[in-house]
Amino acid sequence: MEDRQTGPGKDRADDKADEAKVDLIAVVVAVNDGEPCLLTIGQADTLPSGPFALEHRSPQSGLRGWVEQQTGHPLGYIEQLYTFADRDRVGAERQQRAISISYLALTRKEQATASCACGWHSWYEYFPWEDHRSGTPPVGVDILRARLIEWADAAGDPATQRERRQRVAIAFGFDDRHWNEELTLQRYELLYEAALVEEASGGKATPPPAAVSGKAMVADHRRILATGVTRLRSKIKYRPVVFELMRPTFTLLQLQRTVEALAGRLIDKPNFRRLVEQQELVEETGDTSVDTGGRPAKLYRFRRAVLDERAFAGTKLPLSRA
Amino acid sequence: MEDRQTGPGKDRADDKADEAKVDLIAVVVAVNDGEPCLLTIGQADTLPSGPFALEHRSPQSGLRGWVEQQTGHPLGYIEQLYTFADRDRVGAERQQRAISISYLALTRKEQATASCACGWHSWYEYFPWEDHRSGTPPVGVDILRARLIEWADAAGDPATQRERRQRVAIAFGFDDRHWNEELTLQRYELLYEAALVEEASGGKATPPPAAVSGKAMVADHRRILATGVTRLRSKIKYRPVVFELMRPTFTLLQLQRTVEALAGRLIDKPNFRRLVEQQELVEETGDTSVDTGGRPAKLYRFRRAVLDERAFAGTKLPLSRA
DNA sequence: CCCCTTATTGTCAGATCGAATATAATTGGA
DNA sequence: TCCAATTATATTCGATCTGACAATAAGGGG
């Protein structure tokens, strides 16, 4: 079975020119005090990464090694995100192809080890327009809106103009449309196309100030981050992954704040409680939290058993429409 | 920005040993007469694939080239599935790492070109236990069930026994649990672990006959197919991808049969109609179908405009519980 | 004209969801 | 000590969605 001789993928002329460098790259997320944080190295503009080497049994294990070596941070939950392999994705300087297999990792910040050239930064530093927890759109969105409409109207024919305006309106929830937090990647790609982020166009156009257009990253790392944000915002709605980010014991409000941090929007407290409880995702520990004013809150822990008990095709947190 | 010097992934010692062969591999799906079909080459046991070469602008374009060359079939819709890269995934014979970037492609069978060493096969030939459209579980599932329980009980300690039994029951919907059609990959991996499919264990154990355990495929192609089935069964619920598989014009029953073919289960006709219509996914053409007995059916076409109009975070076809 | 087949429309009860209200248990200050 | 502020927790209500089923319409063939 292993040694077939017919069919392709085997009968190719084995030209060594087809070989490629393969990198592993990680979007490592934690949530602290209601801020979703990203683990970076360098000038807070680089994701941890390293080459996929022969001694690695699997890409996951290779990734764990690189992240731990570069940041001192051991990883828990990991899932594959996407494989980036377009020819021009990393600049045209090298003739060898650059392939990056990206992963999303969830941890907690506390286990931080001491000194290293790494740091945690709120992911809203990179995407200021993604944080809608204040109820209203963040500052600067009006500037982006103006520039995006400018870009749409700069198109040649009216059909393209309309099409661009519509894409912008849907992605950003303009014109009475509701904000869809899962479109992070679409929004970033739109801003890139409109040359409103620093990474685009090799610095020909002049993007808005960083407070509006966000902190840039090396190569296409910010796009990879956007991919991770989109995946995570989608996944918390049907799989109990939030708990990877929680301490062993927590209050329901802490849990809610974590979800809100990831989703970038507020959710209704009673409804959130109802959902979490009727899904039996958590159980009381019996203790109550040391208080920050007001009535003490019960402490809960995640019922790991649910991971085995159920198949989770619909765990839905209350994050639908507007 | 492109020529950073700090950070990893760059400061590595450039040992050529880290290079790898990267393959592109396609799960090409069409639906004909209510049967979901897979495009294969070889002895109907191989997915179209080929090396990712330097001249390819992107993996997608490379994939299109390989599939067209090997099967004569042009591809339309493509999405990335998963990147397989574990060291032992393709047999231990070669010392070089084998990486496969897999894609899911949706087309229609009609555009088939003439002679080539390729063919279409119902995907239920590979996964007989996945077709629940008759209402009851397919024949042979009782055999699998017995063998799976046998496997569970073969575990050393009682804890592992219980855990295995529970995994089996959830994945296959035993013990009054409902059948979840999205767990195709989980089920295949369970059968693999229990050595009930031919690919497992190098032929040490004796799996059930092919009519029960399904047709085997080369290397890990069947696992890749299972990944594609899972993805597609999940995706039809929240994105209007079914229409990639339909003719330009179709009746609502044809549309329903296509969804049922993919999902492997029957759905309620009036509810399906209601959903499709209230989502405004289709519009009438004005014509009616040439009839196969009974009242003539209106013909519809897909409203491509919805792809632009909406963001599709919840299009849900009626495929929830039992 | 009757019967069979398929298409199309309609109804109804239960579950879900978003929104809002009401009550309980603390802390801190008057 | 009592009141006000704060946060936790419990309950209600109506709109919508969903799954199940029933009813009617429009053809073809005897």
| pLDDT tens-digit map of B202-213 | 666 788 888 999
Cβ-contact A129, A140 below 8 angstroms:
yes
- B161 with B94, same domain: the answer is no
Confidence label for A207 from pLDDT (cuts 50, 70 and 90)? confident
Would the pLDDT of B18 be above 70? no
Q: How many CA atoms lie within 13 A of A257 on its CB side?
A: 12
Ranges assigned E (strand) in B229-317: 282-288, 298-302
Alpha helices in chain B (DSSP H): 59-71, 141-153, 158-172, 184-193, 210-213, 221-235, 252-263, 269-278, 305-309
Per mean pLDDT, which of A116-120, A174-178, A219-223, B94-98 is the most reliable? A219-223
Check residue B91 and give its pLDDT.
63
- B117 with B146, same domain: the answer is no
Q: Is B110 a domain residue?
A: yes
Would the pLDDT of B8 be above 50? no
| Contact yes or no for B166 and A19 at CB 8 A | no
- A143 with A118, same domain: the answer is no
Bridge partners of residue A99, in order along the sequence:
A22
* CA atom of A306 to C1′ atom of C20, Å: 32
If you compute the radius of gyration of chain B from its CA atoms, what whole number of angstroms results? 22
Among A6, A8, A91, the residue with its CB nearest the CB of B66 is: A8
- B24 with B97, same domain: the answer is yes
Confidence label for A114 from pLDDT (cuts 50, 70 and 90)? low
- A146 with A192, same domain: the answer is yes
Which nucleotide is closest, CA of B292 to its C1'? C6
Share of chain B above pLDDT 90, in %: 70
Q: CA of A34, closest CA in chain B: separation in Å?
A: 25
Residue, of B3 and A277, whose pLDDT is higher = A277
Alpha helices in B154-216 (DSSP H): 158-172, 184-193, 210-213
Per residue in A154-182, pLDDT tens?
A: 998 999 999 999 999 999 999 988 899 99
Listed as ranges, the nucleotides of chain D within 7 A of a protein C-beta are: 5-12, 18-22, 25-28
Computed over every residue of chain A, the mean pLDDT equals 87
Cα separation, B265 vs A247, in Å, equals 41
Which nucleotide is closest, CA of B297 to its C1'? C7
Q: Out of A64-68, A85-89, A245-249, B265-269, pick the least confident.
A: A85-89
Nearest CA in chain A to B49: A9
Residues A49-64 have a mean pLDDT of 95
Q: Which of B155, B177, B212 is the last residue of a domain?
A: B212
- B24 with B117, same domain: the answer is yes
Tokens 């019922």 -> residue: A303
- B110 with B23, same domain: the answer is yes
Residue, of A201 and A46, whose pLDDT is higher = A46
Structure tokens at A232: 């995570």
Q: Is A45 a domain residue?
A: yes
Q: Is A302 a domain residue?
A: yes
Partner B contacted by A57 (CB < 8 A)? yes
Check residue B202 and give its pLDDT.
67
List the one residue out of B94, B128, B82, B79 whose CA is nearest residue B264.
B128
Per residue in B277-293, pLDDT tens?
A: 999 999 999 999 977 78
Structural domain count of chain B: 3
- A47 with A109, same domain: the answer is yes
Q: Which of B212, B247, B267 is the last residue of a domain?
A: B212
User: What CATH number did the domain enclosing B276 receive?
Assistant: 1.10.10.10
User: What CATH number did the domain enclosing A120 receive?
Assistant: 3.90.79.10
Residues B27-52 have a mean pLDDT of 96
Report the b/e string of B100-125 with b at 16+ CB within 10 A.
bbbbbbbbbbeebeeeeebebbbbbb
Check residue A316 and give its pLDDT.
57
Share of chain A above pLDDT 70, in %: 87
Q: Is B130 a domain residue?
A: no
- A120 with A144, same domain: the answer is no
According to DSSP, residue A138 is labeled: P
Q: Which protein residue has its CA closest to C1' of C10?
A: B270
Ranges assigned E (strand) in chain A: 21-32, 35-41, 49-51, 77-84, 98-106, 118-122, 282-288, 298-302
Check residue B293 and give its pLDDT.
81
- Identify the sign of the CA torsion A191, A194, A199, A200: positive
- A27 with A101, same domain: the answer is yes
Nearest CA in chain B to A319: B313
- B48 with B119, same domain: the answer is yes
Q: Is B220 a domain residue?
A: no
Residue A102: give the domain boundaries. 20-124
Which nucleotide is closest, CA of A278 to its C1'? C16
Cα separation, B100 vs B91, in Å, equals 14
Would the pLDDT of A124 be above 90? yes
Cα separation, B47 vs B57, in Å, equals 22
- A89 with A150, same domain: the answer is no
| Contact yes or no for A308 and B163 at CB 8 A | yes
Q: CA of B287, closest CA in chain A: separation in Å?
A: 30
Q: Is B91 a domain residue?
A: yes
Q: Is A13 a domain residue?
A: no
Residues B191-211 have a mean pLDDT of 85
